[in-house]
Amino acid sequence: MCGRSHVVLGALIAVCFGSTLLSGQNAATALRTPWGEPDLQGLWDIKTITPLERPLALGTKEFYTEQEAAERERLAVDRATDEARGADARADVAGAYNDFWWDRGTKDVQTRRTSLIISPPNGRIPWRPEAMARNAERARVRDAMLDSSNPISTWLDVDTGERCITDGIPWTPGAYNNNYLIVQSKGSIAILHEMYRELRVFSVGDRHRVNIPQWFGNSSARWDGDTLVVETDNFADKSALWWPAAWRQARPAYKIVERFTRANADTLVYEFTVTDPTLFASPWTAQIPMRRTDEQLFEYACHEANYAMPSMLGHKTAK
């Protein structure tokens, strides 16, 4: 029942998030901008320990019990310490960061789902078999390259995230900088993702179509009741590059629909549906509640400080 979230969202909010999150009336209707639109503004935190895909071992188990969720969260708190070490010395040195730097959060989503993916029912990305085979081959090629004596010979051997460009859209919880600032004016919505300082600006209700392929495609945004719906296609073909996650590399066959709904004062529900018949047997959907935070967004000057790139290309920096 909590799966079909684009049906009567108001009722689902009450059931899925619990009445403690709502005041007497439907709190969402009170959250309007001065010009009367749903107010999505704020700084929203997407981090959660709930994985995108349900672990295979859980089969069809859709939700954790309260006790299971509490135990998971306790373990997450234990792990998120800067005293944590890798399993052995080699693992410890090979890890990208000391645990101090990760900011993955310590909480499951409020619904206690076992995955962020809500459709298909097994909570996993429905890869086509030939796409899975291609992924495996690409991974094999990449491992061989990185294990070789000349792992990185140009910046194109490095993934789009390490080049400080993007990990792609739609958005999912990441290693750190899991914050999204939304600023809204009449007819326009801007979302600034702290990671990579990714900026997306939507002109709501603008039907003029452009044909300019982009890393983030071409988007059309409109209101559907209290939900902002953003449809994006016409992604540039960046599939020859290395991406941190193959499922969201920019490519022409890729289409996404994102939905943003202010469930209550402290929760923005972010839902996305991904379609690509060349990779997936069916469209699939994930839902992530974002929590309001009062922190201040930091500037993400990744490219300006990409000292790793010259190091990876095998040259020492003088300083």
Partner 1 sequence: MGRLVRISVVAVCAGVVAASLVLTVASTSAQAPAVGQFAPGFTVPRTADGKPDVNGLWQALNSANWDIQDHPATSGVNPGGIGVYGAQPAGLGIVEFNEIPYQPWALARRKENFEKRLVSDPNDRSAGDPEAKCYMPGVPRATYMPYPFQIIQGTDKIMIAYEFADLARVVYLGELGPPPIDSWMGQSVGRYLGDTLEVTATGFNDQTWFDRAGNFHSEQLKVVERYTPVSPYHLSYEATVEDPKVFTRPWTIAFPLYRRMERGARLLEFKCVEFSEEFLYGKLRRPPGR
Residues near partner 1, by CB under 8 A: 33-36, 39, 41, 144-145, 148-150, 152-155, 163-166, 181, 183-190, 192, 197-199, 201, 203, 206, 208-210, 212, 214-216, 296-299, 301, 303-305, 309-310, 313-315, 317-319
Question: Quick check: 221 and 242 in contact, CB under 8 A?
Answer: no
Closest separation in Å from C-beta 221 to partner 1: 11
Closest separation in Å from C-beta 99 to partner 1: 22
- The strand ranges marked E within the chain are 42-45, 117-119, 179-185, 188-193, 198-203, 218-224, 227-233, 255-264, 267-275, 284-293
Closest separation in Å from C-beta 194 to partner 1: 10
What's the CA gap between 166 and 160, in Å, rounded?
Answer: 6
Question: Of 66 and 299, which has the nearer Cβ to partner 1?
Answer: 299
Question: Of 99 and 162, which has the nearer Cβ to partner 1?
Answer: 162
Question: Of 202 and 280, which has the nearer Cβ to partner 1?
Answer: 202
Closest separation in Å from C-beta 303 to partner 1: 5
What's the CA gap between 12 and 5, in Å, rounded?
Answer: 7
Q: Which two tokens stand for residue 156?
A: 């194109």
Question: Of 74 and 186, which has the nearer Cβ to partner 1?
Answer: 186
Question: Of 25 and 317, which has the nearer Cβ to partner 1?
Answer: 317
Closest separation in Å from C-beta 179 to partner 1: 12
For residue 34, say if its preceding peptide bond is cis, omega within 30 degrees of 0.
no
CB-based contacts of 74, cutoff 8 Å, min separation 6: none
